Amino acid sequence: MSQRRKLQGYDFYQTVLKNAKYFLAPMVDQSEYAWRILSRRYGAQVCYTPMIHAKMFCDEKNRHYQSEVWSTGINDRPLIVQFCANDPETLLKAALKIQDQCDAVDLNLGCPQHIARRGHYGAFLQDEWDLIYKLINILHENLSVPVTAKIRVFPEVEKTIKYAKMIESAGAQLLTVHGRIRDQKGHDSALADWEQISQVKKVLNIPVIANGNILYFEDIERCISMTGVDGVMSAEGSLYNPAIFSGSNLPVWQLASEYLDICRTVPTKLGYIRGHLFKIYRPALPFHVDLREQLAKVTTFEEICAISDELQSRLMKTAEASSYVYDNKVENDENGYKIFPHWICQPYIRSPALGNLNSKEKIENR
């Protein structure tokens, strides 16, 4: 390990992360370098890489994977690199490759997808506390940068608290808590439990970041107020509105155009670009089904840009013909969600997840 003094806990949070409140989540195929550039323009203060598979990253025969998942630049800081792993030595080998180009290394303990079950990582390590301790501790003892972790909660808050304290004792210097259990994902995600996050924050001596239920900029301060956390992480919310940390809901074409301009100079996989445009343009695409179908079939960057330009032209005409004026005084629907026209960036509302809550509870717990 480097002989320089490695900052820990709140020293790390205050000195390196600059007391950040706005965190862009690690997202597979979605928090790549180009997206991080865009997110930082609109207020993201700390960014995570997509989850990197430690074993694949260490495979020298798989250089293609290394170049696909890992790229950065001089202004891409503070940056936390996230790995998934189930073997301490392999995790350390992977982390040593990038420790000099980032500010911390994060262990993914929250991925609930089937691929994580098959690969035996993410949230599917949640019951193997001895292994988790070893994974975190080997990084803590051997890296020149701090180790952090991202977890999901257990159904029982007492178990979540013990789990979080174990992770802190292993050497984690910052903990992100996603307030959902492992089985809550996709359309079955339901509401994240901010009360559990609050209880974890009360017992730890390291910074705690909350994840879950962030649809609008106002939700960030609401979450901090209700949980006492140090910062808030946005995943899906930032994909549908890349400017979420700025408090703005801008025209979809503006954010799409900026992202594509970045991709002109930052090599980005076509599948990543298409995925981002589908999310940015999501509210508008049902009104332009022909372009939605074309976007799904494109094979070149130039084709994607042409479709985006055409969609921008159509939407600008619609916006000009409307009487809508965005002045931060947005009306809400009967469930408390903001009503935007379809050419404005807006969150994806998963209404089935809130089906058993009345309107008042939706607004208070969102």
Q: What is the pLDDT of residue 2?
A: 43
Each residue's pLDDT tens digit, 283-313: 999 999 999 999 999 999 999 999 999 999 9
Q: Is the peptide bond before 267 cis (omega within 30 degrees of 0)?
A: no
Q: In the beta sheet, which residues pair with residue 105? A: 81, 147
User: In this structure, how many other beta carbons lie within 10 angstroms of the beta carbon of residue 222?
Assistant: 18
Cβ(185)–Cβ(208) under 8 Å? Answer: no
Question: How confident is residue 326, by pLDDT bands cut at 50, 70 and 90?
Answer: low
What is the per-residue pLDDT across 154-198, written as a single tens digit (0 to 9) for each?
Answer: 999 999 999 999 999 999 999 999 999 888 766 656 789 999 999
Neighbours of 9 (CB within 10 A): 16
Encoding tokens for residue 172?
């984690």
Domain boundaries, the chain: 9-240, 250-322+331-358
Amino acid letter, residue 354: L
Statement: residue 359 has pLDDT above 80: no
Which tokens in the block code for residue 23? 């965190």
The C-alpha angle 76, 82, 88, rounded to 5 degrees, equals 140
Distance, CA of 175 to CA of 182 (rounded, Å): 17
Q: What pLDDT score was predicted for residue 356?
A: 33
DSSP assignments along 226-294, one per residue: HH--SEEEESHHHHH-TTGGGT---BHHHHHHHHHHHHHHS---HHHHHHHHHHHTTTTGGG-HHHHHH
Q: pLDDT tens across 90-105, in order?
A: 999 999 999 999 999 9
Query: Rounded mean pLDDT of the chain?
Result: 91
Reply yes or no on whether the pLDDT at 5 is more than 70: yes
Fold for 9-240, please state it: TIM Barrel (3.20.20)
Residue closest to 16 by CA, chosen among 74, 95, 103, 89:
103
Active site amino acids: 111
